[in-house]
Chains A and B, each alone.
Chain A
Amino acid sequence: MKRRDFVNRVILTGGALSLGIGCKSKVRTGTGTEKSMPVSTDTASGRTIREPEREIPVLAETDVLVIGGGPAGTAAAIAASRTGAETYLVERYNHLGGLWTGGLVLPLLSTHALDRHKRQRKVIFGIGEEMSGRLFDLGMAIHEVNPVIDPEAGKFVLDEMIREAGVRMLYHSWASNVIMDGNVIRGVFIETKSGRMAVLAKVVIDCTGDGDIFHLAGDDYDTMNYAIGLVHRLGNVDRIDPDKPGYEKKNLGDPTPLKGVNWVNMWGRENQDALDVVNLSNLQMDYRREIWNSVQELRKTPGHEEVFLLDTASQLGVRMSRILDGEYRLRLEDTMTYRSFSDAIGISGAWTTMLYRGRKIPASERPWWQIPYRSLVPRKTENLLVAGRCFCFEKELVEDTRIIGTCLVTGQGAGAAAGLAVREKVFPRNVNVKRLRDLLKQQGVWMG
């Protein structure tokens, strides 16, 4: 168990724990349990500054608070709101969909897998299915298996769905700290243009992808350095002239629903620390330059003159960072053997070939796999759930768990569970899994 060692911590003032729940006024920062966000190790070594104690306005008190509006967070917020719980969704950028839209990672993978009768079938239903269905209706998704979407249409559809579900949206709000009462999370501080504010909630769902919230809450986790990339899109790929003298076939990425527009993935540099802000900044700048140069290079190739760089992703392509140490660690074996869990919250599919016990299991022959609710529940913190690419799984599984399809399933599971916990007035850990599964089935989730 490797915890990141933050050398330079900004230590906040200690002080009496005053939580102000119920009183609409203010929350004081600087409780003993407050943890700081990571600060790059590149700053002057060991130096810290004490932040003065201050009063923070409470923006809202709600039932469910979802942090991070990626595929997981959006699905979580909609699912929670549909149970009747008042739900807030906090997103640091200006769009929903996270890497799926803002990261230009357009294919919704792992929608299909083999069922028990060895038939290839669709496995992702529920809110994820609604999203892709609406995108298909708009003509903004292609391919039935693992659909590729248009990012702007994705942002629009997700916004609409959030609106319809009655979720209260907070864009341009960066969750920066947690409000703890012992091991119970009571809310989150957000940094906004209106200053630092507090949102109090009965249940918080960490959908930041990087596990910012469970880290701040002091839960245990594993970290994983992985390749970080930056996706970009090319325009006018339909105007390439292969008959031009000197024409060469070039690698132009893959088609999107828009005519003449391709998305170009980037694996990027290996073994990157996604929790180091200086590193992220450097990568961002290097990648932008690399992409710019490579597209200029491309335009010089005969026949490709009209191709242009449409955009680079507004979110850097962070694949992995923290992995929760939850109540149950999903294992590779579980996903290969149709293991059924009594607390399964849904099923995901598979998109890569895997080796299991020395044998090759091609993507087309991989079984569907269930995701147990316990894998979303942190061990220490109460009232906190985790969904998206940082829930609790074995690293061997990373290629399947970090994928958009899986994030949508875990998101919806966590959202519904949070709603149920609020309704039944229990800690999410103690939610009745039978009723949770019934609720999810009502919400359209397929359980196998």
Chain B
Amino acid sequence: MKKTVTASDIRTVSFIIAMVSVIPGLWKGFQGFHAWLSPFLMLNSVFALKAIIWLNMAAVAVLAAVMIRKRWFCKYLCPAGWCFDKISSLSPFAGRTYNKLPHAGKWLAVISLVSALFGFPLFVIFDPLSLFNGFFLNLAGKPEPVVFISLLPFPLLLLMHFFLPGIWCKKLCPLGGLQTGLWDIKSHLSGLNLKKAPVSETELPGRRYFVMSGAGLLAGLIMPGILRSSPVKVIRPPGTRDSLSFNTLCSRCGNCIRACPTRIIQPLTVCDQPLAWMTPVIRYENGYCLETCNICSRVCPTGAIAFFPVDEKKHVFIGKAEISSENCYLLNNRECIKCREVCKYEAISYMPGTGTNTGVPVADLSKCVGCGACEIVCPADCIVVRPL
């Protein structure tokens, strides 16, 4: 008997690929690749940045498919949906309907996209692929207790599906909402043009969309103020555009954190920075930002970390080295030139010292990109890289 491949089989394969792609460090540029397939993330990113890169084409293709088949992405690709459906099938409450509930996912989608036009996409963090990928965040780096709090959303959603089967995909998912919304518009338009049906037959969603857009607009206008009121002074991964929009543009998918070969990117978990919660920051403890690497900028699906070519690395400034030389070995007659030796940007030199000492290390800040190499190598803890 010939067995036909069903949509659900394809989605299972997609789920497996998604699971493999979140193994830290292994897949280089394909780390968390599924996030690149989300039209929701793609549109938010394109609207916010007013720029498109070739990797966005993956989601553009998905978008086209979605216009041809209703919620094509959900049926064929979504690994999160796969998980939710598995749990839902175990639920004793199968067949529950949620007709009374508003379609929150649509709201999230529209508000987010409109606010994205102002540079501050509000709800990228609710993208199912971000939630899925973000859950695997702690696979990289040392797990901090607070990180676990942020790991809760996805398992909680899974648990929720035991009692409310299918709720996420039907009502909550902004990516689902986007797909449904687009389908609505398409059928509305085709209703208008082809069937010449009276407007009242297919319900015109215009008014509601208008309200949602208003909300998005408002958010887009208010966000900068809110963000500016609590600026975050941290070292961000190279290529990060501007600190203001970063907190909203970053979908917390953790791709960069898992991709970083030297494991210096960690989620921000300082409680007094709620808006920046779980965004990637750089901490130099045992690694530095490699001069030959741009992987974080290649795996970021929203463009929060903008792509840059490796050759440009010497122009991608992320911090500045601050040297306090009292304890420097050189000033204490001991053998060391480690900081200059490791600086790949030739930013460190030794100023002539007094007497028999060679000199005092100084960093040329026009060359120092803040890679942290000198900070971690210095045996006397003389150097700290500060945020710009």
Binary flags per residue of A248-270, CB closer than 8 Å to B gives 1, else 0: 00010110000000001111111
Complex: A353 Cα to B338 Cα, angstroms: 8
Collect the chain B residues with CB atoms within 8 Å of residue A360's CB. Answer: 285-288, 376-377
Interface size on B, residues (CB 8 A): 32
**Chain A contacts with B in 348-364, Cβ cutoff 8 A:** 352-355, 357-360, 363
Q: Is the interface of B mostly helix, strand, loop or mixed?
A: loop
Looking at the assembled complex, report how far the CB atom of A146 sits from the nearest CB atom of chain B, in whole angstroms: 12
Collect the chain B residues with CB atoms within 8 Å of residue A354's CB. Answer: 377
**B293 interface residue (CB < 8 Å to A):** yes
**Chain A contacts with B in 211-263, Cβ cutoff 8 A:** 227, 229, 251, 253-254
- Would B287 and A264 count as touching, CB distance under 8 A? no
Among B264, B285, B356, the residue within 8 A (CB) of A294 is: B356
Collect the chain A residues with CB atoms within 8 Å of residue B373's CB. Answer: 355
- Would A267 and B332 count as touching, CB distance under 8 A? no
Complex: A233 Cα to B116 Cα, angstroms: 69
- Would A359 and B262 count as touching, CB distance under 8 A? yes
CB-CB nearest in chain B for A251? B332
- Would A291 and B261 count as touching, CB distance under 8 A? no
**Chain B contacts with A in 339-388, Cβ cutoff 8 A:** 341-342, 350, 355-359, 373, 376-377, 379
Collect the chain A residues with CB atoms within 8 Å of residue B281's CB. Answer: none
* Residues A267 and B293 in contact in the complex (CB < 8 Å), given A353-B377, A360-B286: no
Binary flags per residue of B262-305, CB closer than 8 Å to A gives 1, else 0: 11100000000000000000000111111001000000000000
Complex: A269 Cα to B290 Cα, angstroms: 30
Complex: A264 Cα to B334 Cα, angstroms: 8
**B331 interface residue (CB < 8 Å to A):** yes
**A287 interface residue (CB < 8 Å to B):** yes
CB-CB nearest in chain B for A396? B341
Interface size on A, residues (CB 8 A): 28
Collect the chain B residues with CB atoms within 8 Å of residue A53's CB. Answer: none
**Chain B contacts with A in 305-360, Cβ cutoff 8 A:** 330-338, 341-342, 350, 355-359
Looking at the assembled complex, report how far the CB atom of B162 sits from the nearest CB atom of chain A, in whole angstroms: 43
Collect the chain B residues with CB atoms within 8 Å of residue A357's CB. Answer: 261-262, 290
Complex: A270 Cα to B289 Cα, angstroms: 27
**Chain A contacts with B in 191-215, Cβ cutoff 8 A:** none
Collect the chain B residues with CB atoms within 8 Å of residue A291's CB. Answer: 356
- Would B261 and A358 count as touching, CB distance under 8 A? yes
Complex: A294 Cα to B373 Cα, angstroms: 34
- Would B355 and A268 count as touching, CB distance under 8 A? no
**A276 interface residue (CB < 8 Å to B):** no
Complex: A269 Cα to B287 Cα, angstroms: 30
Looking at the assembled complex, report how far the CB atom of B368 sits from the nearest CB atom of chain A, in whole angstroms: 16
Collect the chain B residues with CB atoms within 8 Å of residue A352's CB. Answer: 336, 338, 379
- Would B342 and A355 count as touching, CB distance under 8 A? yes
Collect the chain B residues with CB atoms within 8 Å of residue A265's CB. Answer: 333-335
Among B331, B338, B341, the residue within 8 A (CB) of A251 is: B331
- Would B287 and A297 count as touching, CB distance under 8 A? no
Complex: A153 Cα to B358 Cα, angstroms: 30
Among B264, B285, B350, B376, the residue within 8 A (CB) of A270 is: B350
* Residues A358 and B290 in contact in the complex (CB < 8 Å), given A266-B356, A267-B358, A290-B356: yes
Among A251, A293, A294, A358, the residue within 8 A (CB) of B262 is: A358
* Residues A358 and B287 in contact in the complex (CB < 8 Å), given A253-B333, A264-B333, A352-B338: yes
- Would A358 and B293 count as touching, CB distance under 8 A? yes
Complex: A291 Cα to B357 Cα, angstroms: 10
Collect the chain A residues with CB atoms within 8 Å of residue B334's CB. Answer: 254, 265
Collect the chain A residues with CB atoms within 8 Å of residue B336's CB. Answer: 267, 352
Complex: A254 Cα to B342 Cα, angstroms: 26
Collect the chain A residues with CB atoms within 8 Å of residue B350's CB. Answer: 270
- Would A266 and B262 count as touching, CB distance under 8 A? no
Looking at the assembled complex, report how far the CB atom of A105 sits from the nearest CB atom of chain B, in whole angstroms: 9
Collect the chain A residues with CB atoms within 8 Å of residue B341's CB. Answer: 399
Looking at the assembled complex, report how far the CB atom of A10 sits from the nearest CB atom of chain B, in whole angstroms: 35
* Residues A266 and B377 in contact in the complex (CB < 8 Å), given A227-B358, A357-B262, A358-B261: no
Looking at the assembled complex, report how far the CB atom of A143 sits from the nearest CB atom of chain B, in whole angstroms: 15
- Would B376 and A287 count as touching, CB distance under 8 A? no
- Would B377 and A267 count as touching, CB distance under 8 A? no
Looking at the assembled complex, report how far the CB atom of A270 sits from the nearest CB atom of chain B, in whole angstroms: 7
Complex: A365 Cα to B330 Cα, angstroms: 23
CB-CB nearest in chain A for B379? A353
Complex: A357 Cα to B25 Cα, angstroms: 13
- Would A269 and B356 count as touching, CB distance under 8 A? no
Among A287, A359, A363, the residue within 8 A (CB) of B356 is: A287
Complex: A399 Cα to B338 Cα, angstroms: 9
**Chain B contacts with A in 216-253, Cβ cutoff 8 A:** none
Looking at the assembled complex, report how far the CB atom of B8 sits from the nearest CB atom of chain A, in whole angstroms: 42
Collect the chain A residues with CB atoms within 8 Å of residue B376's CB. Answer: 353, 355, 360
**Chain A contacts with B in 277-292, Cβ cutoff 8 A:** 287, 290-291
Complex: A264 Cα to B330 Cα, angstroms: 11
Looking at the assembled complex, report how far the CB atom of B259 sits from the nearest CB atom of chain A, in whole angstroms: 13
CB-CB nearest in chain A for B349? A270
Collect the chain B residues with CB atoms within 8 Å of residue A266's CB. Answer: 333, 356-358
Residues on A facing B (Cβ under 8 Å): 227, 229, 251, 253-254, 264-270, 287, 290-291, 293-294, 297, 352-355, 357-360, 363, 399
Residues on B facing A (Cβ under 8 Å): 261-264, 285-290, 293, 330-338, 341-342, 350, 355-359, 373, 376-377, 379
| 8 nearest A-B residue pairs (beta carbon) | A358-B262, A294-B355, A267-B358, A358-B290, A360-B376, A265-B333, A360-B286, A359-B287
Other than the given A265-B335, A359-B286, 20 more pairs (CB < 8 A) read: A251-B333, A253-B333, A254-B333, A264-B356, A266-B333, A266-B356, A267-B333, A267-B336, A267-B357, A270-B350, A270-B359, A290-B356, A294-B356, A353-B376, A357-B290, A358-B262, A358-B287, A363-B379, A399-B335, A399-B341
